[in-house]
Amino acid sequence: MQLMYYNNILETIGNTPLVKLNATVSSVKATVLGKVETFNPGHSIKDRMALKMVEDAEKAGKIKPGGTIIECTSGNTGMGIALAAAVKGYKCIFTTNDKQSKEKVDLLRAVGGEVIVCPTNVTPDDPRSYYSVAEKLSKEIPNSFWCNQYDNLSNRQAHYESTGPEIWTQTEGKITHLVVGVGTGGTISGTAKYLKEQNPDIKIWGIDTYGSVFKKYHETGEFDEKEIYPYITEGIGEDILPKNVDFTLIDHFEKVSDKDGAMAARDLACREGLLLGYSAGSALAGVIQMKEQLTEDDLVVIIFHDHGSRYVGKIYNDDWMRDRGFLDTELKIYNLINQKSNTELYEVESSHSIEECLQLMKNKDISQAPVTKEGKIVGSISLTRILAYLLEEPNKDMTGSVEHIMESPFPIVDINTSIKDLNKYIEKEGQAVVVYDNLSQAHIVTQYDIIQSL
Ligand SMILES: Cc1ncc(COP(=O)(O)O)c(C=O)c1O
C-alpha cells in the first residue's frame, strides 16, 4: 500500500471527464460528449491556462517570490490564478467588469484576491476599462506581472499541452467536431491546434454571441465596430481581437442568442444533471443550431467551461430570467404568489351561517374561500354559489350553515405548476386552486389572479 495524495491542489488540474449528453441532444444524430471542466479545482477550465501563465512568467523571470499577479478577468481566470498564487505565495489583484455575476466577484475575494470592478460599456482603450486599469497597475506596482490572458500565448499553449491531448486520448482519436465558446480564444486555438495536427479533418466550431466581432471578422476579414453592442452572455464574445484566437484553425463561428444560451444551460441542469455556466448552454445551443450538418457517424465534443454555482443569481434565477424576457412562456404559480401582495388563505368554518360567510367575504374583499371542518378542508364557497342559492332557492335561509350549500374543495396544486397548466384545474368561473409554499403556508390562486398575471 502506498499513500495516495497530491502535493498541492495545483496537481489536480486537468484530466476532466467526458460525459455523454442524452436528453438535451435527442434531436441530434451524432454522439455528443461534454468535456466537463468543472472538475478542475477552481471549477473551470481556466485553471489550466492560469497555472501555465504563472509558471511561464516564473521561468522567464517576470515575477519573483512575494510579487503581485494582476489580471483582467471575468472570474474564472482569476480563480485559477488565485489558486496558483495561494500555493506559490503571490498577491493578486483582479480587474473585472460590472456585467459579471456578483457571485464571481465574491468568490475571487474569498480566495484572497483584491477585486476592482470597472465599467463594461466603455471602449477597451478607455482609461476606465478593465484592460487599461490592469495595465496601469502593472506599471505602477513593483515586482508585479500582468498575465494579460488575451494576448499571452501561454494561454493557448496550456490547451495545446493538456486539453487537446486529453480529448484525443479519451475519444481514441475518433472525435470529428470540437465545439467551444470563444472569449480570449485560448481554449479553442490550443485544443484545435493539437487535434488538427493529429487529424486535419476534425471540424472546429467556435461559439460566438450577438454583440461580438468574431464571426464577421472570421468570415470577411473586417473588424466591424457595428457588430459591437452590449449582451448578457458571460465568458464568450469580444469587442477586440485577442492574439490567442487563431482564426485559421476555426472552421465556423456560430452565434447564439442570450436567451438560447441561458435556456440550454437550464436544460443541461434539469435534464442531464449538469449544473454548468452560461457559455456551456451557448455551446450546446450552437450544436443544436448546427445539427443538420451532423450525421450518426460523428463524434462531437463540446467544452463546458465552468460551473453553474457562479450563475445562481442569474440564469438559474427565474425572476432574473423573466426580467430579461427569457422565461415568458414559463410563468409558474410561485412567481404569481411572489408578485401578489396578498394570497393569504381565508377559511370559512362549515358551521358558520351563510350570512357570516358573506360578511367575511365582504370584509376581506374575497370572492371565494375554502370551507373547513375541524381544521380540514371539506369544501369551497364562492360569491357565485351564494348568488345562485339566493336566486334559485324559494326557501332561502341566510342563517343556515355554509355546509349545506358548499361545493367540492378547490384542487391542491403544486407550487411549481406552470400557469399554462392551471387551465385544467380551473374549470368554471369563480373557481380557484390552493397551493402550499415551502413553509407549508397555504395560498389561494383565483382565476382573476391568473388573468392579472397574464
Ligand atoms: C465561462 C467561460 N466560457 C468560455 C470562455 C472562453 O474561453 P477562452 O477565453 O479560452 O476563449 C471563458 C473565458 O473567460 C469563460 O470564462
Tens-place pLDDT, residues 40-50: 999 999 999 99
* Domain 46-146 belongs in CATH node 3.40.50.1100: yes
**Could you tell me the fold of the domain covering 333-453?**
CBS-domain (3.10.580)
Read off the pLDDT band of 99 (50, 70, 90).
Answer: confident
Pocket test for ligand 1, best of 35, 38, 40, 46 (most atoms within 8 A of CB): 46
Beta strand spans in 11-143 (E): 18-20, 31-36, 68-72, 91-97, 114-118
Between CA 248 and CA 236 the distance in angstroms is 19
- In the three-class reduction of DSSP (H, G, I as helix; E, B as strand; rest coil), residue 257 is classed as coil
Q: What is the pLDDT of residue 336?
A: 78
Between CA 52 and CA 45 the distance in angstroms is 12
DSSP label of 309: G
- Ligand 1, atom 13: nearest CA belongs to which residue? 235
- Ligand 1, atom 15: nearest CA belongs to which residue? 235
Positions annotated as catalytic residues are 46
Q: What is the pLDDT of residue 22?
A: 96
Q: What is the pLDDT of residue 251?
A: 98
Residue 161 buriedness (CB in 10 A; 0-12 / 13-18 / 19+) = middle
Residue 254: CB atoms within 10 A of its CB come to 17
Residue 420: CB atoms within 10 A of its CB come to 13
- In the three-class reduction of DSSP (H, G, I as helix; E, B as strand; rest coil), residue 444 is classed as strand
Domain ranges in the chain are 12-41+161-323, 46-146, 333-453
Say whether 333-453 and 12-41+161-323 share the same fold: no
Question: Which pLDDT tens digit goes with each residue over 229-262?
Answer: 999 999 999 999 999 999 999 999 999 999 999 9
- For the segment(s) 12-41+161-323, the CATH number from 3.40.50.720, 3.40.630.10, 3.40.50.1100, 1.10.260.40 is 3.40.50.1100
Q: What is the pLDDT of residue 89?
A: 96
Pocket test for ligand 1, best of 101, 305, 306, 311 (most atoms within 8 A of CB): 305
- Ligand 1 center–CA 188 separation, angstroms: 9
Between CA 361 and CA 26 the distance in angstroms is 52
